[in-house]
Structure 1
Amino acid sequence: MPEKPAKRLPGRPKQANTDISIYQTIISTASALFKEHGYEAVSLQQIGKQCGVSKQAIYYHFASKPELFSVAMTTMLQNIRTVTSRLLDDAGQLEQGLVLLAEARLANPHAEMVTMMREAEPFLEKSQLHAIREAEQQIHELLAGHFRLAISRNFLREEDPMFLAESFSTLMLMGNRESTLPKYESPLVLGQKLVALFLQGAKAH
């Protein structure tokens, strides 16, 4: 009589779950450190110490610091796109959505993407650089879609939607300036002022 096959346990193996957890911890920790300090100032040892794993554990998941940076940045940008989409979709109108988006962005200032990329670019492969740029472009395209709809409804004057998206994103960089935010009661107040400024220059006349 043939033996019965061993009963398979449901779900992922415990080791796989542990690996995924460590992988995600490394990415989130690296993202936070890169955002705060930029590319050059952050080491793999620092990332490992911050998230409680060895440097060898990082190399188990990522071949190099540039690879970790690339994954961390694309993951961060994809998360920003998800939040941006949710805030704009859930808002009753574009202005409300932009204020919510501005508040969230200004409440979490980080090193400018341009500065981080300038530091990291010499170390990145073309494919890694492309992945980061593509993830950033998807955020602009999402914003541009909402601006395009607002233009079609005559809420905004005729303008290149992508130009509006990039302009709005540039305004949000004011949150990175240490001298800016303390002048206002909260990120919400500053966000309201920036959105008002942006829309007053873009409304249909």
Structure 2
Amino acid sequence: MTEKSHKRLPGRPKHGDDDISIQQTIIQTASKLFMEYGYEAVTLQQIGKACNVSKPTIYYHFTSKPELFKVAFTTMLQNVSRLTSHMLDQAESLEAGLVRLAEARLANPHAEIVTMLREAEPFLDQVQIQDIRDAEHHIHEVLAIHFQRAMDENRLRMDDPFFLAETFSTMMLMGNREDNLNKYGSNLSLGQRLVDIFIRGAQ
């Protein structure tokens, strides 16, 4: 039986709520397992067992393990993008929004995601890799919009907003160093320190 030859059950609604729920469960389960064990160590059987579905059910929703990984990875990045937009939109100031965002992102170290992608890349095709890069770029776009707005309102000096977005994301890697968390006591304290340096520089 080929990957795409799995049949729907008789009377099964096309794109029904059950299908959506199962697909979301598979994505969420795969994301957790990939994050915990890495790409190569995780099998479709393991994912199916963890979310109580069969391997053919996974193939019903996803053509392959690389495609499932791509969807799981881009979904994680899309969640980060939505979180970024929400926190910055709701904050009373750019700095306050960045502090909240830093606290949240330091609590979920980005380096783990980078490592997971590096391991999976040899198994992905160029379209899948580009889809992931596009999802990551969208996070920087969201940040860049807020940085550009702050520059237009003379709250930040003029600079390339995408460079600032990439710089801020890179600074979040500080959260992966356990000694930093021990030194500053909490993700909030470390986040405040990083944002202060980001906004005001080290002059």
Q: TM-score range by the shorter chain?
A: 0.7 to 0.9
Contact 1:44 1:55 in 2 (8 A): yes
Q: TM-score, normalised by structure 1?
A: 0.84
Which amino acid is the alignment partner of residue 125 of structure 2?
A: E
Please name the residue that 2:87 is paired with.
87
Identity %: 67
Q: Distance in 1 between matches of 2:161 and 2:61?
A: 39
Query: Which residue number in structure 2 is paired with residue 148 of structure 1?
Result: 148
Distance 1:182 1:37, change over 3 A: farther
Q: TM-score, normalised by structure 2?
A: 0.85
Residue by residue over 1:39-86, the C-alpha shift from the partner in whole angstroms, topping out at 9 and shown as x without a partner, is 223222332232222323222211211000110111111111111101
Number of corresponding residues: 192
| 1:44–1:58 CA contact under 8 A, matched in 2 | yes
**Higher Cα Rg, which structure:** 1
Unaligned runs of 5+ in 2: 1-11
Counterpart for residue 5 of structure 1: none
Cα 1:114–1:54 shift into 2, 3 Å:
same
Report the Cα offset of residue 188 of structure 1.
Answer: 1.2
Gap regions ≥5 residues in structure 1:
1-11
Structure 2 counterpart of 1:6: none
Partner of 1:69: 69
Could you say which residue in structure 2 is the equivalent of 1:186?
A: 186
- Would you say the 8 A contact 1:27–1:71 is kept in 2? yes
Measured against aligned partners, the alpha-carbon deviations of 1:15-45 in whole angstroms (never above 9, x if no partner) come to 9222211100010111122233332232223
**3-state DSSP of counterpart to 1:42:** coil
